[in-house]
């Protein structure tokens, strides 16, 4: 595909570790030979994707990381990693904050306000959920970095303000290190809340079967959790769906799927559940997640073994013999076309503005340099063909660092990014 206007932007005050990976788009960072070929499973020269533009709807944010769409009004909620949530309406971004959590969070590197989600019955119950990094709370060891917090707030009847003292803590998880926090929260079509949790960071979340991604009995790290926020049981502020895969076994009941390193962003398209899992030194991946699935970390990175002699089964330990599920999308940290350092999971496009992209999974990389990616379902069940989207030249400067994507009730898509004018919220449009 033709590429125009290669973008090179240096940002002060925004760390490369925001999404769990620091490195160069063009070179591998661990001394291994750089892959200078085309992205695995990618077709970066097909020219099938249409040219698109980016309509800027809001700007002036620091690190915009998530967006939620009100089901009952022309209103969007935009979360900034620094702890502020903004209201965006047809007239633009309101000056009055929807919620200010700057006094409650730790904002540095990969810590901060990381995710928001509206209850499926938000129009009636006015419940919003947030995921943030807090200073160590009771129950978090003194040598740990911070506490993972999932909390709910009540929203005012007009939808423009969260009631600050309505906060109710739903879940806390001790975080051993400052990085690999995950952060995404999304309600699924079943009405349950799915919570992405990273492997705990530090030295990569353990080694092989000792990784937190492969440990479902001792902690909730390295997994996607699924909980019922409308119930309470066993002294917890939530209930466990009865069909969670480890109910009645030795594992922790909250787990839905595991084997993740840093699942930063995720989305649903009907029953399909997409999770972008940030890689380590060579490959990025997007997984199509199922109940009870094991996605391989830290036995595999993408489709590639990290240990000699590994296969598509867990080699040892409590989960010995369990099948490892390969990603549907994989791309390298170097080479032309689809490449990067930290995958930013996106959404399947279902809108009317770009009909040629209907059913296409649109996503990106943290170090975007003006690029967005598109993937289409494979005919043979293998890796999905992936290519660069043709972003018009004048809009590539809005995509220095891509942080998140969103899809509204009409299926139209949006991207949250940092560009030459700072943090912005943009809608994908036809040109």
Q: pLDDT, tens digit, for every residue of 84-142? A: 999 999 999 999 999 999 999 999 999 999 999 999 999 999 999 999 999 999 999 99
- Of the chain, the percentage scoring pLDDT greater than 70 comes to 87
| CA gap 39, 234 in Å, rounded | 47
Whether the per-residue pLDDT at 313 is higher than 80: the answer is: yes
Q: What is the pLDDT of residue 210?
A: 75
**Class of the domain covering 51-430:** mainly beta
Q: What is the pLDDT of residue 308?
A: 80
If phi > 0 it is left, if psi is from -120 to 50 it is alpha, else beta; for residue 303 that is alpha
* 362-395 pLDDT, tens digit each: 999 999 999 999 999 999 989 999 999 999 999 9
Q: Is residue 213 helix, strand or coil?
A: helix
Which of the pair, 20 or 414, is modelled with greater confidence?
414
Burial label, 96 (beta-carbon count in 10 A; 0-12, 13-18, 19+): exposed
Residue 310: pLDDT band (50, 70, 90) is confident
The per-residue DSSP string of 42-55 comes to B-TT---SPEEEEE
Domain ranges of the chain: 51-430
| CA gap 308, 306 in Å, rounded | 7
Q: What is the pLDDT of residue 204?
A: 62
Share the mean pLDDT of the chain.
89
Quote the tokens at residue 379. Answer: 């005919």
Q: What is the pLDDT of residue 327?
A: 98
Return the minimum-mean-pLDDT range out of 57-61, 239-243, 336-340. Answer: 336-340
| CA gap 298, 324 in Å, rounded | 11
Sign of the CA dihedral running 100, 106, 108, 111 = negative
Q: What is the pLDDT of residue 20?
A: 65
Quote the tokens at residue 233. Answer: 């049981």
The per-residue DSSP string of 351-419 comes to -SS-GGGTT-EEEEESS-TT--EEE---SSSSSPPEEE-EE-GGGGGG-SEEEEEEE-TTS-EEEEEEE
Whether the per-residue pLDDT at 326 is higher than 60: the answer is: yes
Which of the pair, 47 or 108, is modelled with greater confidence?
108
* 165-194 pLDDT, tens digit each: 999 999 999 999 999 999 999 999 999 999
Sign of the CA dihedral running 104, 265, 151, 205 = negative
| CA gap 49, 226 in Å, rounded | 35
Q: Which secondary-structure segment (H or E) carries 123?
A: helix 122-125
Quote the tokens at residue 363. Answer: 């996503």
Q: Which residues pair with 92 in a beta bridge?
A: 89
Q: What is the pLDDT of residue 208?
A: 65
Residues in the chain: 431
Q: What is the pLDDT of residue 46?
A: 47
Tell me how far CA of residue 393 lies from CA of 4, 54, 431, in angstroms.
6, 10, 11
Q: What is the pLDDT of residue 336?
A: 80
Q: What is the pLDDT of residue 2?
A: 32
* 206-249 pLDDT, tens digit each: 666 678 899 999 999 999 999 999 999 999 999 999 999 999 99
């Amino acid at each position: 595909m033709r590429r125009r206007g290669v973008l090179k932007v240096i940002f002060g005050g925004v760390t490369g570790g925001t999404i769990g990976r620091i490195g160069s788009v063009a070179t591998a960072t661990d001394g291994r030979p750089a892959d200078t070929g085309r992205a695995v499973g990618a077709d970066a020269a097909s020219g099938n994707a249409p040219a698109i533009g980016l309509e800027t709807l809001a700007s002036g944010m620091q690190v915009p990381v998530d967006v939620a769409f009100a089901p009952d009004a022309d209103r969007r909620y935009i979360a900034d990693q620094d702890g502020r949530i903004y209201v965006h309406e047809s007239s633009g971004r309101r000056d009055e904050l929807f919620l200010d959590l700057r006094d409650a969070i730790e904002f540095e590197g990969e810590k901060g306000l990381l995710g928001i989600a509206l209850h499926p019955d938000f129009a009636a119950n006015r419940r919003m959920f947030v995921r943030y990094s807090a200073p160590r709370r009771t129950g978090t060891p003194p040598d740990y970095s911070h506490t993972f917090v999932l909390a709910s707030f009540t929203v005012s009847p007009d939808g423009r303000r969260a009631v600050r003292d309505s906060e109710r803590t739903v879940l806390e998880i001790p975080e051993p290190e400052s990085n690999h926090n995950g952060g995404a929260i999304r309600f699924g079509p079943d009405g349950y809340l799915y919570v992405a949790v990273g492997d705990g960071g530090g030295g990569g979340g353990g080694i092989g079967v000792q990784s937190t991604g492969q440990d479902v009995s001792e902690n909730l790290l390295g997994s996607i959790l699924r909980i019922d926020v409308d119930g309470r049981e066993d002294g917890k502020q939530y209930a466990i769906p009865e069909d969670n895969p480890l109910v009645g076994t030795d594992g922790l009941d909250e787990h839905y799927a595991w084997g993740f390193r840093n699942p930063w962003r995720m989305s649903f398209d009907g029953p399909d559940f997409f999770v972008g899992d940030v890689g380590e030194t060579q490959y990025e991946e997007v997984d199509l997640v199922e109940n009870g699935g094991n996605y391989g970390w830290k036995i595999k990175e993408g489709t590639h073994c990290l240990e000699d002699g590994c296969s598509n089964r867990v080699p040892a330990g409590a989960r010995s013999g369990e099948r490892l599920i390969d990603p549907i999308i994989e791309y390298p940290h170097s080479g032309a076309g689809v490449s990067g350092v930290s995958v930013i999971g996106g959404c399947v496009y279902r809108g009317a503005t770009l009909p040629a992209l209907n059913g296409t999974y649109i996503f990106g990389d943290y170090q975007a340099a003006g690029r967005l990616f598109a993937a289409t379902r494979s005919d043979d069940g293998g890796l999905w063909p992936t290519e660069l989207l043709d972003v018009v030249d004048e809009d590539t400067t809005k995509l220095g660092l891509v942080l998140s994507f969103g899809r509204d009730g009409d299926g139209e898509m949006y991207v949250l990014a940092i560009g030459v004018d700072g943090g912005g919220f943009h809608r994908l449009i036809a040109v």
